Chain A
């Protein structure tokens, strides 16, 4: 028996190879360029914020910024007490989380543990639609539907108020909490549930004592993401919470959140380079620092508390 080794034929291989090498290079370049764009953008945003903030603090002392109890940047006697805006943001975000956490978590538990595939196939798209509604629609929903409804229950509630805005922001972030928490719950291995059932645990006991604790880090991460979203939410609060910078945590009166302030100033004809113009960036920087801190916390928390199952 003789085996003939195939005759190497350069003509068959060479042209092909050159082309693919070239293509490889082009593709690599394109991907690198896109990756670079996002880095540049982030860098650009952060640098702009930093420079403008720096200029701002040349005219206003950091001390006043942190201790003043009034926010009146457009007045003659301008005051820049950032806590006025922060308190409003904290207020609406807190209301939003109080609404969204139970709803989102219960929806996630229902979807992953209780729903039959039929119910699931109805619920999931419904949640996705909720996530796809433009926030301006939510804003008018808060202003024209939720507020009048609340006014029936709470006489004397003002037309613009933190409560209604907070509730609707909460509704708008339910899908985020629900779908991320569901992923976390779904990722809990089946063997853990079996272990609990084999000890005579009921379904409820299994979910509460084994599944939810095991999914805790993912659930917390989803909530923190939702909090950042609530803090950054603009349209709903600008439309429904009002434009009144008031310090305090009263949910029944109009307030002005950080984002609402940015909208208000950006819509007006504030000349670039003026102090009022720079307040936009200072408030933006504050927002950025808060969300960054939340994200870092969430990152740390997930790393610290994630259970590793192989």
Chain B
């Protein structure tokens, strides 16, 4: 089902994350079945698909956030630089340090803006100049100008859009290799959304990004590759998500191989 990339060899060489035949269960329910895809380095990959098809679920598999959900279970293989992400030898804490995450709802800590950034660095044993790190992270997240005079104020006192950029700054501060973003703009106004999108463009130079979005335009604007997920109902009534098609964003939006993809991206769905 996954169509060939223009240059498959190049892509496999630089794949940072690789999922093979991944199934995810919540308790005894299969939520997502048989997902295989590669996340290439320094690219932006968008996950799109109808609600409940398992985009967030797969995203959380990549930094083992699913471990925190009681009853969640992952089988199949996910590798990070060719090492099995789920092997006993790897500490999920270490993985999350290298694969950061930004959530759908901004969730700054009830601490000062400064401490929001410094927290991650501190627990990860950062030795350098903390002021400098805070400033550079906030600059990268395009929020420095707005908060530089109130670093001591609570992160909760910011607007939703500012909070989300603060959360992105917080994720960047520990210099992860990959940033996972679960609908980062869904709570934001169009202007903040644009700023976050610009930000993603810049971050691409240094980071690999996976972003879940319900916004087709956003997916086509920011991503290099797009994965379309869909869900099918079982006889028991619950839905099982699966990967329909994964390709260059251009191809997904203009020349999809699957009818379902065509219907979804053109808004003729369900």
Which residues of A are at the interface with B, using a C-beta cutoff of 8 A? 189, 191-202, 205, 209-210, 213-214, 307-309
Give B156-191 as 1s and 0s: 1 = Cβ < 8 Å from A's Cβ atoms.
100000000001001100100000000000000000
Q: A199-B123, A200-B174 are in contact. Are A192 and B100 (CB under 8 A)?
A: no
Contact B65–A199 (Cβ < 8 Å):
no
Closest Cβ of chain B: how far from A211's Cβ, in Å?
Answer: 10
Contact B119–A213 (Cβ < 8 Å):
no
Q: Is B96 an interface residue (CB 8 A)?
A: yes
Contact B120–A199 (Cβ < 8 Å):
yes
Contact B65–A194 (Cβ < 8 Å):
yes
Q: List 13 A-B contacts (CB under 8 A).
A: A191-B103, A194-B68, A195-B103, A195-B107, A197-B96, A199-B97, A199-B100, A199-B170, A200-B120, A200-B123, A201-B120, A202-B123, A209-B119
Contact A197–B65 (Cβ < 8 Å):
yes
B170: chain A residues at CB < 8 Å are 195, 199
Q: A194-B65, A195-B103 are in contact. Are A213 and B110 (CB under 8 A)?
A: yes
Which residues of B are at the interface with A, using a C-beta cutoff of 8 A? 63, 65, 68, 93-94, 96-98, 100-101, 103, 105, 107-111, 119-120, 123-124, 154, 156, 167, 170-171, 174
Contact B119–A198 (Cβ < 8 Å):
no
B105: chain A residues at CB < 8 Å are 191
Contact B107–A199 (Cβ < 8 Å):
no
Contact A214–B107 (Cβ < 8 Å):
no
In angstroms, Cα B108 to Cα A192, docked, is 7
- Among A193, A194, A195, A201, point to the contact of B123 (Cβ < 8 A): A201
Q: A200-B120, A202-B93 are in contact. Are A307 and B107 (CB under 8 A)?
A: no
A308: chain B residues at CB < 8 Å are 156
Contact B123–A205 (Cβ < 8 Å):
yes
Q: A194-B65, A196-B119, A197-B65 are in contact. List 12 more A-B contacts (CB 8 A).
A: A191-B107, A193-B68, A195-B167, A198-B101, A198-B103, A199-B120, A200-B97, A200-B120, A210-B109, A213-B109, A213-B111, A307-B154
In angstroms, Cα B119 to Cα A200, docked, is 10
A189: chain B residues at CB < 8 Å are 107
- Among A198, A200, A214, point to the contact of B124 (Cβ < 8 A): A200
Task: Find the B residue at minimum CB distance from A308.
Answer: B156
Contact B110–A307 (Cβ < 8 Å):
yes
A307: chain B residues at CB < 8 Å are 110, 154, 156
Closest Cβ of chain B: how far from A146's Cβ, in Å?
Answer: 40
Q: Max chain B CB contacts within 10 Å: which of A194, A200, A309?
A: A200
B94: chain A residues at CB < 8 Å are 200
- Among A193, A199, A209, A213, point to the contact of B96 (Cβ < 8 A): A199
In angstroms, Cα B107 to Cα A205, docked, is 17
Task: Find the B residue at minimum CB distance from A189.
Answer: B107
Task: Find the A residue at minimum CB distance from B120.
Answer: A199
In angstroms, Cα B92 to Cα A201, docked, is 10
Contact B93–A200 (Cβ < 8 Å):
yes
A202: chain B residues at CB < 8 Å are 93, 123
Contact B63–A198 (Cβ < 8 Å):
yes
